[in-house]
Amino acid sequence: MAIAVITGVSAHAEAEIAAVLGAANGVDLVRRCADLAEVLAVAAAGRAEVALVSADLPGLDLSSVRELRDQGVRVIGVFADESQERTLREWGVSWLIGDRAAQDELLEQVHAAATTDVPRVAALPEEDAGSPAPNEQDEDGKVIVVWGTGGAPGRSVLAANLAVEFAAAGEPTMLIDADTYGACQAQLFGVLDEAPGVAAATRLAEAGRLDTVSLAGLAPMVGERLRILTGLPRPDRWPEVRSAALQSVLETSKRMHRWTIVDIAAPTDLDEELSFDTVAPQRNMATRAVLDNADEVLVVAAGDPIGIGRLVRAIDEVKELTVARSTVVVTKVRASAAGRNPRQEIEHALQRFAGVEPVLIPDDRDALDAALLAGRALAETAPSSPAAAAIRALAHERMGLAQGRPARRGRGLRKRAG
């Protein structure tokens, strides 16, 4: 059976490549596409097994390459120079060939791609020796996602203070604000967010130009071993954060840091009408992409009757969204909202209705307000507060530090003026 092939190739090479494919035995040149939209449409119709696309095809980016692969199409990248080749590699294109390659080489790539069960991801070139590489581990770092119920249970505050604890223990850490509804990590750290880091990082990823050097340049240091990638200043800019590009940001951060902590929004539902259009972006795909790439998820809810009710439903929901291990965290635990013995009441309710044992963080409004006003973490403004102690215990447990081993305090956070 002939291999169904489509092309989306630059004009200077298109005619020669089409002539070779059109005359080859065992190859059916289904369509010579004029633009990216036509390439994606033919692929979505299930009419292509292999697509040859040029790196400079207008509109081609990381998301469109991922979309072709999701349709089951093997992608062969056609490049004219070393820069284009690197861009295609950054996009994870499975097969690469020069636009002046010999006929035999072109057909060999087509047949190899069509007969491969799992598309091969091209290896990235080694990065410059001067690239930031603070992750001293032999393996990639881990992604911890802070998610939870709606209603402001304190996801962002927990993510920020966890990141500080990881960094204070000597672990290279990145905090990413991927909340597309109400990003606030910049405010928590007193960082101006005129140029949101996460938007710039995803743009570079889409263009195939994101590496550890460029990511480090977008994520300022706010502590000795802590970087922050600030979020969107306005929720209407959510289309800038595409899921495939955000996944690339996570992968790059894992190469740089032992821990990547991601603060995300609560909503995960998708628009059913848009689900039939694979090109249209979806509001909550960023959240779902982060959950899908998590190593551990902290499911956060407030310690009151409404929060606990929402949490029971969220515990079921997270099992459908990710295979990562999850830890339930209940914040704002106080007697006025949960009864005379709030710890016992909350633990009993969650054991009965959800079969989980939560981590409880006591309400400590005065300490949290002082930290927010100063643009600093609890570890600096109120290190002995009950909330700080509970967060520190959670962080140490996740890092596997020996019990009783004190965290090494660095220079702390620096309040930034710009």
Q: Is the pLDDT of residue 130 over 50?
A: no
Q: What is the pLDDT of residues 51-99, one digit of tens each?
A: 999 999 998 999 899 889 888 999 999 999 999 999 999 898 989 999 9
Distance CA 231, CA 264 (A): 10
Q: What is the pLDDT of residue 165?
A: 94
Q: What is the pLDDT of residues 298-355, one digit of tens each?
A: 999 999 999 999 999 999 999 999 999 999 999 999 999 999 999 999 999 999 999 9
The one-letter amino acid at 96:
L
Q: What is the pLDDT of residue 148?
A: 95
User: May I ask the CATH class of domain 3-115?
Assistant: alpha beta
DSSP-derived letter for residue 314 is: H
DSSP-derived letter for residue 142 is: E
Distance CA 275, CA 297 (A): 25
Q: Is the pLDDT of residue 261 over 60?
A: yes
- Rounded to an integer, the average pLDDT of 15-34 is 93
Most distant CA pair in the chain, distance: 82
Q: Is the dihedral of CA 165, 171, 172, 174 positive or negative?
A: negative
Cα–Cα distances in Å, from 160 out to 156, 316, 364, 376? 6, 26, 16, 9
Q: What is the pLDDT of residue 272?
A: 61
Q: Where are the domains of the chain?
A: 3-115, 142-268+281-399
Count Cβ atoms within 10 A of the Cβ of residue 272 and give its class: 0-12 exposed, 13-18 middle, 19 or more buried: exposed
Q: Is the pLDDT of residue 407 over 50?
A: no
* All residues at 6 or more sequence positions from 234 whose CB lies less than 8 Å from its CB, including other chains: none
* All residues at 6 or more sequence positions from 418 whose CB lies less than 8 Å from its CB, including other chains: 192
403 vs 45, which has greater pLDDT? Answer: 45
Q: What is the pLDDT of residue 416?
A: 43
For residue 209, the Cα-to-chain-centroid distance in whole angstroms is 16
Strand order from edge to edge, sheet including 95-98? 27-32, 3-8, 50-54, 74-79, 95-98
- Rounded to an integer, the average pLDDT of 194-209 is 87
292 vs 403, which has greater pLDDT? Answer: 292
Look at residue 405 and give its three-state secondary structure.
coil
Q: Is the pLDDT of residue 276 over 90?
A: no
Q: Is the pLDDT of residue 406 over 80?
A: no
Residue range 142-268+281-399, CATH number: 3.40.50.300
Q: Is the pLDDT of residue 186 over 80?
A: yes
Strand order from edge to edge, sheet including 221-223? 221-223, 226-229, 173-177, 259-263, 142-148, 296-302, 325-333, 359-362
Instruction: Tell me if 3-115 shares its fold with 142-268+281-399.
Output: yes
The one-letter amino acid at 347:
E
- Rounded to an integer, the average pLDDT of 384-403 is 81
Average pLDDT, the chain: 87
Tokens of 289: 């992409």
